[in-house]
Structure 1
Amino acid sequence: MEQQGKYIYEYPRPAVTTDCVIFGFDKGELKVLLIERGIKPYSGKWALPGGFIDMDEDSETCAKRKLVQETGLENIYMEQLYTFSAVERDPRYRVISIAYYALVNLSDYNAQAGTDTTCVKWFAISDVPELAFDHAKILDMAKERLKGKIKYQPIGFELLPEKFTMPDLHCLYETVLQTELDNRNFRKKILGYNLLIDLNEQQRGARNRAPKLYSFDKERYEELTKAGFYFEI
């Protein structure tokens, strides 16, 4: 019940937050966007963007709101990851977090520090600093989710520019999957799905033979999916 502008409950109840793992891909490296906290606890420590859910919003709305407030990012691909509920994950009081992960093309977004943050920065996955709360655990789970899902759903295209080359796509998959993929077989499989649009352009500035530029045919993929199409790398 509500009394004098405060919520009063008969039994103790946990607070609920959202945390967001934002992945990007740049120069052959998978990266994650982190904020430097400007408030306690863990002031000055790096963390995932996120915050408390308001009484009048759902978790996804909160995740998107906090991204805009803390990093300036909006209108990005996002999926729910997992709910983290370890009893002592927050030193203040009982807090449950609903985590999301998102994929962005770095060149399309200019991340900037906002509410309760002193800095926002992209870190290579191989060079992530110590994180506040249990955010290292959240990041690890997000990496595994991305690694698994990119095999059977073409979400990797969200990390690339609108125009990309076959070597760009091949490098992305090898980086995310952390394994070598035979270039010839990879190319044959990708082109065999007929999901790429040949733009009849070549990459500028290439030293040797300039590779072709492609774009992802999202409309065709959605049509094929409705008909039972299965994507697999």
Structure 2
Amino acid sequence: MVDDPAPTSYVAADIVILTISGGEFRVLLIERGKAPFAGRLALPGGFLEDDETVDDAAARELFEETGFAVGESLLERVGVYSEPDRDPRRRVVSVAYAALVPGPPPTRAGGDAAETAWLPVDEALKEPLAFDHSRILGDAVAHARRHLEYTTAATAFCPKEFTIAELRRVYEIVWRTSLDPGNFHRKVTRIEGFLVPTEETTTRNGGRPAALYTAGPLKWLPLPLSPAH
């Protein structure tokens, strides 16, 4: 009996971890400490372990980089990247994910990473990232912006309890636009299942007390929100 040949290709999970901090849409990038592309910025990621699904690997990478479990953030597949020459070491097929996290935790380097940092998305999109990570980043950012139109994903960028103004600011930052406060308030509070009032208020942003909400059970919006309105 002939032994099975060694695998000629490997599977990896790469993660575009997105957050909002300091009024900017940001992504977590690592500076690679090893060849190939030593010293270049890249997305976090890693190879599949023997006992993992690719979703398991993505969840593990997310937790290792941020401390967030999947239930504490939004983790979604963006696409599969399988060009034969995308990794100069060997044939690697990558399943890419976008993770939306509510506020950036402290960064921590490890593995192939020399340093990690949260960069503004627009700045990161101009960087010559390692491998094909510039393409993956662009696809993930477009996915996130589009997803905010059709789903309640914007709440993943918010703390557990948030105001309507804080939620609106998420849309404005991700979409790079301004939204009419009154219009936005009417729209989101009329969508059943989008928001759940806590019956509490806060003055953390100054001004009059503002009502606090939590994310409701709704995932897909009955009608899309639009950055044009």
Whether TM-score is above 0.5 comes out as: yes
User: Among 66, 72, 79, which residue is 2:76 paired with?
Assistant: 79
Tell me how far apart the structure 2 counterparts of residues 88 and 161 of structure 1 sit (CA, whole Å). 41
Match of 1:185 in 2: 183
Could you tell me how far 1:72 is from its partner in structure 2?
4.6
Tell me how far apart the structure 1 counterparts of residues 49 and 57 of structure 2 sit (CA, whole Å). 7
Could you tell me how far 1:202 is from its partner in structure 2?
3.0
CA contact (8 A) 1:18 1:100 kept: yes
Tell me how far apart the structure 2 counterparts of residues 166 and 179 of structure 1 sit (CA, whole Å). 16
Match of 1:202 in 2: 201
1:90 aligns with 2:84: no
CA contact (8 A) 2:189 2:195 kept: yes
Tell me how far apart the structure 2 counterparts of residues 115 and 40 of structure 1 sit (CA, whole Å). 12
1:102 aligns with 2:94: no
* Distance of aligned partners of 1:36 and 1:208 in 2 relative to their CA distance in 1, 3 Å threshold: same
Unmatched segments (≥5 aa) in structure 2: none
CA contact (8 A) 1:153 1:231 kept: no
User: Among 160, 163, 170, which residue is 1:162 paired with?
Assistant: 160
Q: TM-score normalized by structure 1?
A: 0.83
Q: Which consecutive segments of 4 or more residues in structure 1 shift more than 4 A?
A: none
Identical counterparts, % of pairs: 33
Q: TM-score normalized by structure 2?
A: 0.84
Tell me how far apart the structure 2 counterparts of residues 32 and 18 of structure 1 sit (CA, whole Å). 16
Tell me how far apart the structure 2 counterparts of residues 182 and 74 of structure 1 sit (CA, whole Å). 33
Radius of gyration: which is bigger? 1
* Distance of aligned partners of 1:201 and 1:72 in 2 relative to their CA distance in 1, 3 Å threshold: closer
Aligned-partner residue type, residue 104 of structure 1: V
CA contact (8 A) 1:34 1:48 kept: yes
Could you tell me how far 1:155 is from its partner in structure 2?
1.0
Tell me how far apart the structure 2 counterparts of residues 68 and 117 of structure 1 sit (CA, whole Å). 15
Could you tell me how far 1:2 is from its partner in structure 2?
8.2
Could you tell me how far 1:197 is from its partner in structure 2?
2.6
1:54 aligns with 2:56: no
CA displacement 1:188-216 (0-9 Å, x = unmatched): 11011143233333333444334332222
Q: CA RMSD in A?
A: 2.4
Secondary structure, aligned partner of 2:57 = helix
CA contact (8 A) 1:73 1:110 kept: no
